[in-house]
């Protein structure tokens, strides 16, 4: 393949721009915010599950307290009626009076037990509500943090995207001065190996870092200026310059 030296030199500009584009693309894919957001998503999901679980515990505790109060209301009402009957002194029958007194004692014990149980249920409800509120506060704080990380990610995305756009336009201008057949080979090699061309610098291929053997150096030195050389080690295009060591 033949190409004027200045056309080959343009490959070095394209190669450098491609290197910067690859670095920008890698930076975009490996932003610290992306890894952090992945971890935060797990935390957010676990915290949301905790909030739901604690909300269920609050609901259960509320239902338990309502159930106890539902049992207390008729017991208190019956005790009040029985106590009023006893206090009125209108019950003359001894057997009925004994039965009423016994029922009052039973209701008093039952109400006392229910009230103790209610106090315990109220404490459980209070604890559940506090735990739920704490988890919800942590969820809101985590959401605020996630929004901050998302903004940081988006800001960096925008900055990198502007850089990529500028480099892409720069590459288009650089590639415009390269013959189509030479650019086609370069693109093929870049796709296959990650880099399409490199400088021959003091007898070393800068693409792969391998020193060129003496026989190849003599062959390269004898080659016409417009001949497109290829590295025997990495097969990439070798671009000769004044400091190639030939």
Model pLDDT for residues 86-135, shown as the tens digit of each residue: 888 777 788 888 898 999 999 999 999 999 999 999 999 999 999 999 99
Contact 212, 200 (CB under 8 A): yes
pTM for the whole structure: 0.74
Give the pLDDT confidence score for residue 220 in this predicted structure: 94
Q: Do both 16 and 41 map to the same domain? A: no
**Which residue is it, tokens 């894919």?**
29
Q: What pLDDT score was predicted for residue 96?
A: 83
175, 192, 223 — which closes off a domain?
A: 175
| pLDDT at position 36 | 97
HSE-CB of 51 using CA atoms within 13 angstroms: 15
Whether the per-residue pLDDT at 165 is higher than 90: the answer is yes
Residues 136 and 14 in one domain: no
Same domain membership, residue 91 and residue 109: yes
Q: What is the CATH number of the domain that holds 116?
A: 1.10.287.1490
User: 98 and 13 in one domain?
Assistant: no
Element (H, E) at 197: strand 197-201
Give me the pLDDT at residue 142, please.
Answer: 97
Domain boundary among 125, 158, 175: 175
Do residues 144 and 56 touch, judged by C-beta distance below 8 A?
A: no
Quick one: 17 and 103 in the same domain? no
Residue 246 lies in a domain: no
Structure confidence at residue 109 (pLDDT)? 95
Spatial separation of the C-alpha atoms in residues 31 and 134, rounded to whole Å: 32
Contact 202, 244 (CB under 8 A): yes
Q: Residues near 94 by Cβ (< 8 Å), separated by ≥ 6?
A: none
Regarding whether 94 and 200 lie in a shared domain, the answer is: no
Please, what is the average pLDDT of the chain? Answer: 94
Domain identity same for 231 and 185? yes
pLDDT at 160 over 80: yes
The tally of domains found in the chain comes to 2
**169 shares its domain with 126:** yes
* Residue 203 phi, psi dihedral angles, 5° rounding: 80, 10
pLDDT at 35: 97
Report pLDDT digits (tens) over 42-86: 999 999 999 999 999 999 999 999 999 999 999 999 999 989 988
User: CA torsion 230→231→236→242, rounded to 10°?
Assistant: -80
Domain that includes residue 36, residue range? 31-175
């Amino acid at each position: 393949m033949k190409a004027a030296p200045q056309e080959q030199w343009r490959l070095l500009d394209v190669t450098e721009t491609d290197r910067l584009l690859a670095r920008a693309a890698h930076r975009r894919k490996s932003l610290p915010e992306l890894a952090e957001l992945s971890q935060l998503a797990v935390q957010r999901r676990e915290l949301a599950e905790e909030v739901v679980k604690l909300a269920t515990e609050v609901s259960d505790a509320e239902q338990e307290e309502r159930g106890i109060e539902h049992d207390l209301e008729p017991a208190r009402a019956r005790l009040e009626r029985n106590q009023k009957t006893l206090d009125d002194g209108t019950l003359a029958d001894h057997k009925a009076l004994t039965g009423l007194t016994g029922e009052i004692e039973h209701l008093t014990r039952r109400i006392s037990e229910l009230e103790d149980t209610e106090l315990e249920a109220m404490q459980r409800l209070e604890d559940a509500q506090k735990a739920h509120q704490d988890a919800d506060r942590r969820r809101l704080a985590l959401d605020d943090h996630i929004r901050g990380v998302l903004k940081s990610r988006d800001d960096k995305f925008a900055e990198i995207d502007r850089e990529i756009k500028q480099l892409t336009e720069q590459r288009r201008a650089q590639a415009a001065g390269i013959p189509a057949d030479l650019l086609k080979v370069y693109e093929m090699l870049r796709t296959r190996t990650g880099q399409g061309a490199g400088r021959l610098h003091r007898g070393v291929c800068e693409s792969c870092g391998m020193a060129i053997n003496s026989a190849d150096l003599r062959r390269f030195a004898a080659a016409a200026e417009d001949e497109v050389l290829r590295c025997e080690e990495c097969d990439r295009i070798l671009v000769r310059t004044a400091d190639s060591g030939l």
